[in-house]
Structure 1
Amino acid sequence: MRGLVPHALRLARILLAAPLVAACTQQGDFGRPAPTAWNSLINAAGTFAAHERGEPASLFPFTEDERALRDRAWRFLMPARERSLFDAALDNLTRARVLPASWRLSDPTAYYEAITAGPFRSPVSRYRRLSDDLVADGRLVPAFAETAARVVRADLTRLQSLPFITTLDDRDVRSAAMRVAENRCLIAWVRLETGARAASYRYALEHLLVAAPEEEAIATERSLAFLESRRHLLDPLLPPDAEARCGLVPPEPGGVVLVRKG
């Protein structure tokens, strides 16, 4: 967890000390966090921790689309594989930005190892699990992309209006700019994680095909193509270097970074 400032590190320890973050987080529909006081506390702590690290973080209330964007991002920011209670708590703290996104390294082998661990009835069941996850992700991408597009348009209106509003103070202007950056970096994070998930699924399919060839692999390959076609809906939303600008991946030489390293 290199790069965490002391305040954020202490905050993460406090939250993990509570019954393992209330069993990771209280669940709502589709596995997303339910709108409870506990989950609101985790999200507020994440805003504080992100601010302490120098990442974009605004105290402005969320619009309906901004809130929906965060709800729809949940699936893509949490690993597809099963996790221990402790690991799931850490993943949720990362999703809420209590912990920085950069501390969790991408491991394309983890999903395959998870679905092949333990007893199973037949290799076909593993192919079907993989196909189900692929299709579920692919079906959720368009709704996220549509919501993200509305948020991007609203943010453009927000920025264009700033020079014409004379009653704003420096804090208002900074909060507006931080919310725009915060929204863009969330979209960039989902775009990055969606690509990483697709890579994990491809790794799993290729290794299943070698370990246990089955005709079910043909349908699974189609499911992977379905996800690949859908995830590219996220590409036009932001510039290609948005992930680097947000500090999610190493920047190109001479590139601009929007977040300060802790």
Structure 2
Amino acid sequence: VNVVAILQEFWESKQKQKAVFPSEGTVVYESLSSLGPPFVSYVTLPGGSCFGNFQNCLSRAEARRDAAKVALINSLFNELPCRRITKDFIMESVREAVSSTSGNFKDADDPSTSIGAYHYMLESNIGKTMLEFQELMIIFQLLHWNGSLKALRETKCSRQEVISYYSQYSLDERMRSHMALDWITKEQESPGIISQELQVALRELEEARKAGQELRFYKEKKEILSLALSQIYSDQVTSSSQDDQMGLALHGYH
């Protein structure tokens, strides 16, 4: 069975039915550079959900097939009625959120609370599948991790205002660049914090991949932190080069 071709055909058929994501695209594969096994491959679906091979693979082709298999299973599972956001689904999800956070069910009607904000987001996306909802959720997960949500709360923005604002956007290069700039600022305040966070993100990504979980949150963290590090390195090289040029100019002047 050519699972790579089946996955591609599945998403092409959804595209023809116009049942794809607003930020639709193609199925994209990415293989980590490695001199030898085990090889690692990621597959990103239209909408941004990401999966990887969870088995130890002896070739890049095998890793790609394994990643495609995990992605196909999740794509098919997402089509089930139980994965579509309905009133019953929302009530059950809120109950689970309350029990897992030791919260209060009354908080569900208060958007200023975490439970209330989650309830509001689910209500705003009724009729969508969980993979579609996940595309919005990933932005808020990253904003929370980044510290941006806390900063917005300090400016007296309500959770509803923040949700309404960011619901208009998809996670793109511009948003990643803004988040990378935030981490560059953090690095200036606490040297070494980016490297520490990157190590955590890489460990989380590997653990989630081996467990067959959806990987986008961990992968986006890795991309944002790597972008911040490369920018810092680029600035240092540029600064060093300018210092060298200034030194040569002064030497020539003397």
Q: What's the TM-score once normalised by structure 1's chain length?
A: 0.34
Select the structure with the greater relative contact order (CA < 8 A; seq sep ≥ 6): 1
Please tell me whether Structure 1 or Structure 2 has the larger radius of gyration of its CA atoms: 2
Question: Under a length normalisation based on structure 2, what TM-score does the superposition of the two structures give?
Answer: 0.34
